[in-house]
C-alpha cells in the first residue's frame, strides 16, 4: 500500500464541477475562436457560424478534445493547441463560480493531516488564479507550469508535464524533510530519522479525465484518484424503469440513483471518488486514521469495475 505523502490537484473539472452552463460558455468561446481563424484562412467555405458549429459539435463529440477537434478543420497541430488553450482561458466562466466552503474544509482537513498538496493545471497563471479566487482559495502551489512559447502552457496529458509535477513535489517533500532535520539540530532533539527517499507512488494525482490526466499520471508512477461525477457505477445504482424511457439518454440518467459509497478502489493504487469532497474520507482511510470526522469509513473493495 502506498503512503500519502503529497497530493497533486487538477483544477478544471476537479476542484469545481463543469456544469452544463460552464461547458456551454467554453464551447461558445471555442466556436467563435475557431470561426475567426477559419474566416481568415478560408473565408468563402466557412462563412456561416452555424455550419462551423454543426461540424465542430460532431468532431468534439467523437474526439472529446477541443484541440483534436480544431485539427479536423486542418488547423496545424501547434496552432490548434494554441487556439484551444487561448479559448479555454478566455471563456468567462468565473461569473458562474462562487466560494466553496466544503472545498476549503477539505484543504483544511489535509493541512490538519499534515499532507502537502499542490496544483498541476494547463491554465494560464492569471486565469487559474482568478478561478481559485472565485472558489475562495487564496492560492495553491503550482507544481508544474511547463510552457511552450511565452504564454501557452503545455496541454494536460503530456508525460513531460507530469514528470515535472513529480519532480517539484519531490523538491517540496525534500524541503520539509530538511527543515525537520534543522529544527531537530537547533533544538537538541536526538531523533534518528531515516535518510530521505522519494517514491512516486506516494504522490497522489487527483483529476477527472481518464485520458489526459489519470493515464499519464499512472504512466509516470503516481498513484491516482479520479473524481467521478457522471451517472452510473460505482456511485449510482440503476433503478428499474419503463423500458420505453431508455430511448432518451436524459430519461436513462433519471433511472440512476445515488448510493451510499463515497469511494472505491479500482486497482491497488487507483481509486474512484464520488466528488472532490470525498477525498478527505479516502485520505483518512489510506492513512488508517481512526478519527474520520463526520464520515463513515468504508471498506476497500477489491472488485474491479
Count how many Cα atoms sit within 13 Å of the Cα of residue 222 in the half-sphere of its side chain.
31
CATH code for position 117: 3.40.50.1000
Domain match, 119 and 78 both: no
Within a domain: residue 52?
yes
User: Can you give the residue range of the structural domain that contains 212?
Assistant: 6-15+99-227+260-286
Within a domain: residue 248?
no
Within a domain: residue 124?
yes
User: What nine digits make up the cell of 80?
Assistant: 490548434
Domain match, 25 and 11 both: no
CB atoms within 10 A of CB 134: 17
At residue 76, φ and ψ (nearest 5 deg) are -55, 155
Within a domain: residue 83?
yes
pLDDT tens, N- to C-terminus, the chain (305 residues)? 678 999 999 999 999 999 999 999 999 999 989 988 887 666 555 556 667 888 888 898 888 889 999 999 999 988 998 899 899 999 999 999 999 999 999 999 999 998 999 888 888 888 888 999 999 997 776 665 434 333 444 545 577 778 888 888 888 888 888 888 888 888 888 777 788 888 999 999 999 999 889 999 999 999 999 999 888 888 888 876 555 555 565 666 667 888 889 999 999 899 999 999 999 999 999 987 544 433 333 344 443 33
Domain match, 275 and 155 both: yes
- The whole-number pLDDT of residue 207 equals 95
- The whole-number pLDDT of residue 19 equals 92
Domain match, 77 and 109 both: no
User: What nine digits make up the cell of 262?
Assistant: 463515497
How many structural domains compose the chain? 2
Q: Name the residue with cell 470561426.
A: 35
Residues in contact with 30: Cβ distance below 8 Å, sequence separation at least 6, in sequence order? 56, 60, 66, 69, 84, 87, 88, 91
Within a domain: residue 173?
yes
- The whole-number pLDDT of residue 45 equals 56
At residue 13, φ and ψ (nearest 5 deg) are 85, -10
At residue 270, φ and ψ (nearest 5 deg) are -140, 105
Domain match, 148 and 274 both: yes
Domain match, 82 and 104 both: no
- The whole-number pLDDT of residue 205 equals 95
Domain match, 35 and 167 both: no
Within a domain: residue 238?
no
77-90 and 20-41 are packed helices; what angle lies between their axes, rounded to 10 degrees? 140
End-to-end CA distance of the chain, in Å? 20
Domain match, 136 and 281 both: yes
Cβ–Cβ under 8 Å, residues 212 and 156: yes
Three-class SS of residue 249? Answer: helix
Question: Strand pairing of 147-148 and 256-258?
Answer: unpaired
Domain match, 50 and 118 both: no
Domain match, 127 and 78 both: no
Amino acid at each position: 500500500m502506498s503512503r500519502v505523502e503529497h497530493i497533486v490537484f487538477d483544477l478544471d473539472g476537479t476542484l469545481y464541477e463543469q456544469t452544463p452552463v460552464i461547458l456551454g460558455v467554453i464551447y461558445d468561446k471555442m466556436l467563435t475562436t475557431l470561426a475567426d481563424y477559419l474566416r481568415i484562412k478560408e473565408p468563402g467555405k466557412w462563412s456561416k457560424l452555424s455550419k462551423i458549429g454543426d461540424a465542430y459539435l460532431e468532431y468534439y463529440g467523437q474526439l472529446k478534445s477541443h484541440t483534436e477537434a480544431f485539427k479536423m478543420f486542418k488547423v496545424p497541430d501547434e496552432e490548434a493547441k494554441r487556439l484551444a488553450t487561448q479559448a479555454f482561458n478566455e471563456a468567462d466562466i468565473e461569473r458562474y463560480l462562487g466560494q466553496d466552503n466544503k472545498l476549503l474544509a477539505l484543504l483544511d482537513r489535509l493541512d490538519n493531516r499534515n499532507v502537502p498538496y499542490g496544483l498541476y493545471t494547463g491554465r494560464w497563471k492569471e486565469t487559474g488564479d482568478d478561478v481559485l479566487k472565485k472558489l475562495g482559495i487564496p492560492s495553491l502551489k503550482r507544481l508544474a507550469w511547463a510552457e511552450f512559447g511565452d504564454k501557452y502552457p503545455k496541454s494536460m496529458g503530456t508525460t513531460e508535464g507530469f514528470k515535472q509535477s513529480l519532480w517539484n513535489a519531490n523538491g517540496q517533500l525534500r524541503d520539509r524533510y530538511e527543515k525537520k532535520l534543522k529544527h531537530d539540530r537547533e533544538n537538541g532533539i536526538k531523533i534518528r530519522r531515516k535518510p530521505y527517499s522519494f517514491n512516486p507512488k506516494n504522490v497522489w494525482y487527483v483529476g477527472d479525465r481518464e485520458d489526459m490526466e489519470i493515464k499519464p499520471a499512472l504512466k509516470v508512477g503516481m498513484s491516482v484518484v479520479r473524481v467521478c461525477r457522471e451517472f452510473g457505477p460505482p456511485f449510482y445504482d440503476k433503478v428499474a424503469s419503463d423500458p420505453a424511457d431508455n430511448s432518451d439518454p436524459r430519461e436513462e440518467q433519471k433511472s440512476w440513483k445515488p448510493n451510499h459509497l463515497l469511494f472505491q478502489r479500482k486497482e491497488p493504487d487507483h481509486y474512484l471518488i464520488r466528488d472532490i469532497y470525498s477525498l478527505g474520507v479516502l485520505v483518512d482511510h489510506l492513512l488508517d486514521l481512526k478519527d474520520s470526522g463526520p464520515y463513515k469509513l468504508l471498506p476497500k473493495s477489491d472488485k474491479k469495475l
